[in-house]
Homo-oligomer: A and B are copies of this chain.
């Protein structure tokens, strides 16, 4: 069980580093091309939320990738304002709504998602992708 930690500046220009590193780790683990793309999207959505919503007072936020036997477990953690994950509504998928897709996309693409958020102290979203999953684009 190998663990990789990445601390990134709370700035849009570094979100690509989250994608680059997860793609490399997932490739080496043997994930399919389609799964690697899904992992890039999931980690980016979580980083984008940390930048857009957390009001993170810190100049950095954290990512952890844990390489397990048959799965990749990764977490994005900010030290921002937090929110109530249960109160986030499922987006309308009729092309009218401009936002609100991030968490929905993450949940659609990953095998397991856990959000731990506390008002005033921040949010931590943990995503799991199983290696064996073979639903391919």
User: Does A24 contact B13, Cβ atoms closer than 8 Å?
Assistant: no
User: CB within 8 Å of B: which of A1-44?
Assistant: 2-9, 11, 13-14, 16-17, 20-21, 24-25, 28
Q: Which of A32-82 contact B (CB under 8 A)?
A: 59-60
Q: How far is the CA of A103 from the CA of B31 in the complex (A)?
A: 36
Q: Which one, B3, B13, B21, contacts A20 given CB within 8 A? A: B21
Docked CA distance A124–B130 (Å): 36
Q: Is the CB of B9 within 8 A of A7?
A: no
Known interface pairs A2-B14, A3-B7; 5 further A-B residue pairs with C-beta atoms within 8 A, sorted by A's residue number: A2-B11, A2-B59, A6-B6, A16-B24, A17-B25
Q: 5 shortest A-B CB distances, which residue pairs?
A: A5-B7, A2-B9, A6-B6, A20-B24, A17-B24
18 A-B residue pairs with CB within 8 Å: A2-B9, A2-B11, A2-B14, A3-B7, A3-B9, A4-B6, A4-B7, A4-B17, A5-B5, A5-B6, A5-B7, A6-B7, A13-B28, A16-B24, A17-B21, A17-B24, A20-B21, A20-B24
